[in-house]
Amino acid sequence: MTTVQNKFLGDKDFVETLIPQRFPFVMVDKLYSYSETELVSGFTIQVDAIFFKKDCLVEAGLIEHMAQSVALHTGYQFYLKSEQAPTGYIGSIKDIEIKKLPRLDEEIRTTVSILQEFGGITLVNVVTTLNDVEIAKGQMKTVLAK
């Protein structure tokens, strides 16, 4: 696993170039580390996030953060090859377990682990933590548009 160059580490603007979503739908703002098989992303909960309600990020926002972390892996992979990343879609979400919802100004970190990749279809495990405590996990399958 390689740590992303420090100049990009907390650069929200750079991270946003790697995913197709735009404000107010962006649910990732940091890229901590990357390898071909794993990525660690971050997101600080802000009041202007589209899924922020009643002082916390709701379940749909947490799942969207997880999905955008997967998209960030693909986006950074294509960035390293100096290529435009294709659009991707969630093919399925499986075994999602949410234990806690993050509150305003808290930072969540998500680890995406690639389990299998073939023909533009990727199966991943996704684990989200808050202060090093697991708050959500699950599996996602994504499909790249041709």
Quick one: average pLDDT of 112-125? 95
Predicted confidence at residue 13, as pLDDT, reads 84
- Whether 7 has a pLDDT exceeding 60, the answer reads no
C-beta of residue 55 within 8 angstroms of C-beta of residue 47: no
- Whether 10 has a pLDDT exceeding 70, the answer reads no
In the CATH scheme, what architecture does the domain 2-144 have? Roll (3.10)
Predicted confidence at residue 5, as pLDDT, reads 52
For the chain, what are the domain ranges?
2-144
- Count CB-CB contacts under 10 A for residue 50: 16
The pTM score is 0.91
> What pLDDT, in 10s, does the model give residues 70-96?
999 999 999 999 998 888 889 999 999
Can you list the pairs that 43-51 forms with residues at least 24 positions away whose Cβ atoms lie under 8 Å?
A: 43/107, 43/108, 43/110, 44/105, 44/106, 44/107, 45/102, 45/103, 45/104, 45/105, 45/106, 45/107, 45/108, 46/104, 46/105, 47/104, 48/23, 48/24, 49/24, 50/24, 50/25, 51/27
> What pLDDT, in 10s, does the model give residues 37-65?
999 999 999 999 899 999 999 999 999 99
